């Protein structure tokens, strides 16, 4: 999931190469040599020898653009991501299998993925009869997110099919990016209505799927996965500002980004959250402002959403208030920024 710093002290963002594990075979099928793509992207030759190898967000962007160039296909990341399954998602994929139901497994996946990934976040949002599995790019140092948005939603689709069965289909699929040159492969893969130029990338599906039971897991397997996840969680929380930033990216989407709300997700009081951030020279307000800027830039750059809708996505009371804030963040208006980066 996939599968994308403006703070004064930038936080490192990286992607696990396992999210693009099937890239070499897609290149082979299109007559492209992996070594040519890696050389073009200035990446190490052994990158695809281990799915747990990581790349920075700028490196991942170079890889995406090199693949598009060599294959001459602007939807090549759909072709790569549609081969990724739950088994390719590391510890997060393993913990998803431990749930008693699809909903429990999906929430377990999202919780660990959001702690583990510095490149993107996933959110499970239920509202009555429908649920959204939302993918959002949170990594920094990247100038375009369209490949990551497509790849993230495509992998999310496969994860839900792995949990629910191959008969599962979404009600609608949305992308926070412009449409590619051809929609036919998208319709073939998703088998559902598609919407581009939206404020979020998500799979919308009937909530009753969350109640579907998952097969029981061998107790020894469960014990091993739980131990692995606990060890990874402890290591991840050591970089506390990065952890808070990932959680905030998800909460901003939901409009639930107050300090008490985020502190509760970490199992602590807001004052504890504030103290831990201050010890590392980071303020909560700076993190929120940085993320709002990143999200605004991404929507203005990678979609054709009207400025008014971008403002609504970030929970501003009006487009005018958003424009004032954006000019304070960047020195230019939203319209000027969009013209410069297109």
Residue 50 lies in a domain: yes
- What CATH number does the domain containing 338 carry? 1.10.10.60
Q: Are 161 and 168 in contact (CB under 8 A)?
A: yes
Residue 75 lies in a domain: yes
Residue 234 lies in a domain: no
213-239 mean pLDDT: 87
- Evaluate if residue 298 carries a pLDDT over 50: yes
Question: Of 193, 211, 229, which residue sits at a domain end?
Answer: 211
pLDDT digits (tens, 9 = 90+) for 3-12: 322 232 333 4
Q: Kindly list the distances between the CA atom of residue 32 and the CA atoms of 39, 46, 71, in Å, as whole numbers in the listed order.
A: 12, 17, 7
Same domain, 196 and 50: yes
Q: Are 116 and 92 in contact (CB under 8 A)?
A: yes
Can you spell out the DSSP letters for 48-84?
GG-TT-EEEHHHHHHHHHHHHHHHT-TTHHHHHHTT-
**Which range marks the domain in which residue 87 is found?**
14-211
- What CATH number does the domain containing 146 carry? 3.90.1520
Residue 339 lies in a domain: yes
Least confident of 150-159, 225-234, 276-285, 323-332: 225-234
Handedness of CA 322, 325, 328, 329 (dihedral sign): negative
Structural domains counted in the chain: 2
Same domain, 280 and 207: no
Residue 230 lies in a domain: no
Least confident of 136-150, 255-269, 312-326: 136-150
- Give the containing element (helix H, strand E) for 275: helix 270-279
Same domain, 189 and 329: no
Same domain, 246 and 143: no
Q: Are 79 and 64 in contact (CB under 8 A)?
A: no
Same domain, 172 and 246: no
Residue 171 lies in a domain: yes
In this prediction the pTM is: 0.75
Q: What is the rounded CA–CA span in Å between residue 160 and residue 209?
A: 9
Q: What is the pLDDT of residue 19?
A: 80
Here the tokens at position 230 are 């606990």
pLDDT digits (tens, 9 = 90+) for 25-50: 999 999 999 999 999 999 999 999 99
Q: What is the rounded CA–CA span in Å between residue 166 and residue 211?
A: 16
Residue 2 lies in a domain: no
> 52 falls in which pLDDT band (50, 70, 90)?
confident
- Evaluate if residue 246 carries a pLDDT over 80: no
Same domain, 285 and 339: yes
Question: Of 162, 194, 211, which residue sits at a domain end?
Answer: 211
Same domain, 206 and 251: no
Q: What is the pLDDT of residue 25?
A: 96
Same domain, 303 and 204: no
- Evaluate if residue 332 carries a pLDDT over 90: yes
Q: What is the pLDDT of residue 321?
A: 94
Q: What is the pLDDT of residue 64?
A: 92
Q: What is the rounded CA–CA span in Å between residue 336 and residue 291?
A: 20
Residue 28 lies in a domain: yes
CA dihedral in degrees (15, 20, 21, 26; nearest 10)?
A: -160
286-305 mean pLDDT: 90
Question: Of 163, 194, 211, which residue sits at a domain end?
Answer: 211
Q: What is the rounded CA–CA span in Å between residue 22 and residue 30?
A: 13
Same domain, 189 and 246: no
64-89 mean pLDDT: 93
Same domain, 253 and 206: no
Same domain, 163 and 121: yes
């Amino acid at each position: 999931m996939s599968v994308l710093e403006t703070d004064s002290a930038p936080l490192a963002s990286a992607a696990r190469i396992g999210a693009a594990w099937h890239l070499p075979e897609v290149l082979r099928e299109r007559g492209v040599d992996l070594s040519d793509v890696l050389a073009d992207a200035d990446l190490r030759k052994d990158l695809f020898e281990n799915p747990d190898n990581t790349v920075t967000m700028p490196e991942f962007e170079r890889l995406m653009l090199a693949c598009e160039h060599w294959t001459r296909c602007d939807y090549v990341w759909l072709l790569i991501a549609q081969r990724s399954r739950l088994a390719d998602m590391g510890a997060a994929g393993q913990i998803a299998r431990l749930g008693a139901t699809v909903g429990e497994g999906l929430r377990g996946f999202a919780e660990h993925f959001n702690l583990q990934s510095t490149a993107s976040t996933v959110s499970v949002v239920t509202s009555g009869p429908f649920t959204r599995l939302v993918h959002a790019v949170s990594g920094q140092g990247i100038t375009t997110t369209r490949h990551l948005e497509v790849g993230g939603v495509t992998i999310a689709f496969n994860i839900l099919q792995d949990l629910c069965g191959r008969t599962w289909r979404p009600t609608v699929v949305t992308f926070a990016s412009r449409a590619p040159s051809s929609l036919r492969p998208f319709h073939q893969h998703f088998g559902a209505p598609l919407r581009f130029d939206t404020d979020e990338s998500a799979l919308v599906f009937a909530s009753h799927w969350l109640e579907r039971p998952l097969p029981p897991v061998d107790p020894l397997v469960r014990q091993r996965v739980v131990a692995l996840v606990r060890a990874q969680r402890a290591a991840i929380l050591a970089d506390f500002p990065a952890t808070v930033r990932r959680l905030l990216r998800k909460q901003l989407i939901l409009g639930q980004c107050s300090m008490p709300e985020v502190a509760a997700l970490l199992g602590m009081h807001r004052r504890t959250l504030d103290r831990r951030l201050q010890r590392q020279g980071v303020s909560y307000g700076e993190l929120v402002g940085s993320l709002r800027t990143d999200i605004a830039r991404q929507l203005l750059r990678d979609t054709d959403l009207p400025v008014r809708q971008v403002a609504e996505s970030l929970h501003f009371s009006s487009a005018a208030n958003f424009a004032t804030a954006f000019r304070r963040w960047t020195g230019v208006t939203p319209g000027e920024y969009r013209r410069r980066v297109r």
